[in-house]
Amino acid sequence: MPSFDIVSKVDAQALDNAVNVTSKEITNRFDFKGSHVVIELDKKNYLLKLETDDDMKMRQLLDVLISRAHKQGIAPEAFDASKEGGVSGKIWKKEVKVRNGLAQEDAKKIVKLIKDAGLKVQASINDDLVRVTGKKRDDLQEVIQLCRTSSLNIPLQYVNMRD
C-alpha cells in the first residue's frame, strides 16, 4: 500500500546559513552602523536570541532574518516570534523559537483535516510525524493538495513516499 509521511522539520545547516547571512547583511547596512546587534543561534534547542538598540531595529532584524531564511528554504511560519521581547537597560532582547517537528495538537489538526475530507486514506500519528496510507497513489496526492491549500500555519514537508 502506498504511504508517505507529513513532517515539519527545519534543516539546522540552512538555519545556520540564514543567521550568518543575516548578521553579515546587518553589519553592512547603513541604518545599523554603530548600533548594538547580536544574533545567537542555539542549534540544540532551535532558539534564536536577538538583541538590538530599539524596537524598530528589532522588527527590521526579524524581517531580514525571516526573508533570508526563506531564501534558504525555511518557511516563514517556522519562526515563532509571538513572544514579546523585553528591555534590559538600553538593550531590546527577544527570543524567537524555531518550530522543529510536529507538535501533538498540530498533528491532531492534520489528522482531523484528512478525516473530515472523506478521502479513502488512513492517517496515524507517530511521534512527530503523521503517516498517511491509502490504496491509490492519487488519493495520497489529494491529501498533499488538501494540506497545502488549508491554512494550518505550520510549515509541512511530505517525505518518505512509498509504493
Task: Return all residues near 25 (Cβ < 8 A) that are at least 6 apart.
Answer: 64, 68
Does residue 160 surpass a pLDDT of 90? Answer: no
pTM (2 d.p.) = 0.82
Structural domain spans, the chain: 3-8+102-162, 12-98
Does residue 21 surpass a pLDDT of 90? Answer: yes
pLDDT of residue 82: 79
Sorting pLDDT into bands at 50, 70 and 90, what band is 86?
confident
Q: What is the CATH T-level fold of the domain 3-8+102-162, as seen in this structure?
A: Alpha-Beta Plaits (3.30.70)
For 12-98, which CATH superfamily applies?
YajQ-like, domain 2 (3.30.70.990)
**What does the pLDDT average to over 114-132?**
90
pLDDT of residue 96: 92
CA 9 to chain CA mean position, Å: 7
